[in-house]
Amino acid sequence: MLAKRRKYIMEVLILLTLATSLLATAPLDPTPQLCLSDASGGLACRCTDSRTELDEHLWEVDCSCRNLTALPSEWQILPDARRLDLSRNQLSLLRDEQFSRWGNLEELSLARNKFTSLNEAAFSRLANLRMLDLSYNMLQTLPVKIFEGISVLSTLNLEMNRLQELPPYLFSSTSHLNSLILSYNTALGKYLMKSTEFLTIVLQRNISSLALNNMSIERIPNGLFNEASQLHHLSLADNPLRVIDVLPASLESLNLSGIDVEVLVSGDFISYPKLKKLQLDRLIHLRNVQENAFEGLASLEELTMENCIQLHSFDERAFGGPDSVPIPLKRLSLARSGLHTLSNKTFLLLQPTLKHVALQGNSWRCDCNLAWIHQTNFSLENTAYLRCFSPDEHHNRLIPSLDLKDFVCTHESAKQNTYSGLIVVMDMFLILVVVIVACAILMTLWRRGFMLCTPRQTVGRYSHVTIDPSRAELEWDDKDLDHIWSTPNANRQNVPRGP
């Protein structure tokens, strides 16, 4: 009995030893803790400790939403801090070399504060800073030397400020700048389109991502992107562009959501063979997608056209015809648009690669022309919102719940195209009949002399008339004067009468 107890205790000890060793070797989740404060203890930030593959400490310091109006002069600094978040405070001023003791900092967020200006030396000694977020402030401009010494800066976010202009050589010392976000600075957008020097210099620095959303850009200046051979990601959303201008052929993603284009025609995207993602959402003026509209997109994998509320016509050859180069599209979204029907021929060139399609939120007419939706090789997204609008017997029913036999063309829908063509023919016939009758009436009137005119010959300002000598001594009356006197305002009372 004693031997069994000893054996049992030994087994328990072995299991505990194994469990302890497993817990010791298992990676621990980062543990948040309040680790940073000023000398008086008035500031506390939430910090997270994580480790690199080389077992190095990486501290992420979160001081957001602390209602800070100023930063303390003396901090208990974490020397290994790599990320500092000061967003959503009330900060309006940074001293020179404010972050001089944060030499290892790689990411700094000052978003959603109240900065109206910044000193040139505000970010001095942040030699390792790679990402700087200054979005949602009230900055009007930036000093030309503010980024000196930050040579590794790769991402800069200036979205939603009040920028009026930027110095052309603002990034002369940031040779690694890769991503620039200038969106929602409307005054800056107008300035950049008139004076393109700043953007031209920026694009020459091999920048790969540029966001110019909602900046009141009505047109793209000629040649602006001639030197942008390394630009891969471009966003021009929510600008009043009416045509799709020539953009860099190097683009891999393009966002044109919310622009004012009304029709997509053949050749709009023919110059972008490397484009993989195209966003055309919220085109509220778009009415028609014509044949070969997406011709030339030989690398396109994702296309979204959501919330195009006036889009009623989508040509069945929008992606090309039988002789076109196939488009390797994997996902297509036409959700929440104005479509009523869609031909199954639209997807013929896309079948080998198309996996996901979003069609929910449209006013679908569930007749025989939509029966193909039950025989697709791709997956339909959000089918809970994929419903019929007409005919009345299927109104608001889920399309996946319908049987194939329910997709029946009624007299109205089946003959719609025939009736449309017949109406056009009848209108043309009626117009032709009206023209023929009008011509016949005019010819009849001409032959009967109702349309004859006797031209009057005039010499100078007087009418040429013939006076009968036999009546030369007769008394002239007003009727004769009307023929002889050509001046319309003549005073007849002064005309001498005969004896």
Give residue-wise pLDDT tens across range 230-289.
999 999 999 999 999 889 999 999 999 999 999 999 999 999 999 999 999 999 999 999
58 found inside a domain: no
Q: Is the pLDDT of residue 24 over 60?
A: no
Name the pLDDT band for 50 (thresholds 50, 70, 90).
confident
Q: In the prediction, which pLDDT does 184 show?
A: 97
Please tell me whether the peptide bond between 391 and the residue prior to it is cis, using omega within 30 degrees of 0.
Answer: yes
217 found inside a domain: no
Nearby residues of 432 by Cβ (< 8 Å), 6 or more positions away: none
Residue 46, Ramachandran bin (φ over 0: left; ψ between -120 and 50: alpha; else beta)? beta
339 found inside a domain: yes
Q: What CATH code is carried by the domain that includes residue 346? A: 3.80.10.10
Bridge pairing between strands 288-289 and 313-314: parallel
In contact, 174 and 153? CB cutoff 8 Å: yes
| Residue 277 belongs to domain spanning | 252-427
d(CA 472, CA 470): 6
310 found inside a domain: yes
Least confident of 70-74, 107-111, 310-314, 442-446: 70-74
Name the pLDDT band for 466 (thresholds 50, 70, 90).
low
Burial state string for 137-167 with b = 16 or more CB within 10 A and e = fewer than 16: bebebbeeebbebbeebbbbbbbbbebeebb
How far from 245 is each of 127, 202, 242, 255, CA to CA, in Å?
39, 20, 9, 13
Rounded to a whole number, what is the distance in angstroms from the first to the last CA of the chain? 172
- Cβ-based burial of 392 (10 A; exposed 0-12, middle 13-18, buried ≥19): exposed
Q: In the prediction, which pLDDT does 227 show?
A: 86
Q: In the prediction, which pLDDT does 486 show?
A: 47
Output the CA torsion sign for 271, 277, 282, 284.
positive
Report phi then psi at 335, rounded to 5. Answer: -70, 145
Q: Give me the mean pLDDT over the 78-83 stretch.
A: 82
70 found inside a domain: no
Closest Cα to residue 50, out of 19, 74, 29?
A: 29
How far from 38 is each of 72, 73, 430, 438, CA to CA, in Å?
6, 8, 89, 96
272 found inside a domain: yes
414 found inside a domain: yes
Q: Give me the mean pLDDT over the 371-384 stretch.
A: 88
Structural domain tally of the chain?
Answer: 1
pLDDT in tens, 292-313: 999 999 999 999 999 999 999 9
Name the pLDDT band for 32 (thresholds 50, 70, 90).
low
Segment holding 133, helix H or strand E: strand 131-133
| Amino acid letter, 364 | W
d(CA 297, CA 273): 5
Closest Cα to residue 181, out of 205, 150, 202?
A: 202
- Cβ-based burial of 7 (10 A; exposed 0-12, middle 13-18, buried ≥19): exposed
Task: Give this prediction's pTM.
Answer: 0.75
Least confident of 203-217, 228-242, 324-338, 439-453: 439-453
189 found inside a domain: no
Q: Is the pLDDT of residue 68 over 60?
A: yes
Alpha-carbon 477 to chain mean position: 83
Q: Give me the mean pLDDT over the 406-420 stretch.
A: 63
Residue 484, Ramachandran bin (φ over 0: left; ψ between -120 and 50: alpha; else beta)? alpha
- Cβ-based burial of 273 (10 A; exposed 0-12, middle 13-18, buried ≥19): middle
d(CA 435, CA 439): 6
Q: 395 is written with which tokens?
A: 């109104």
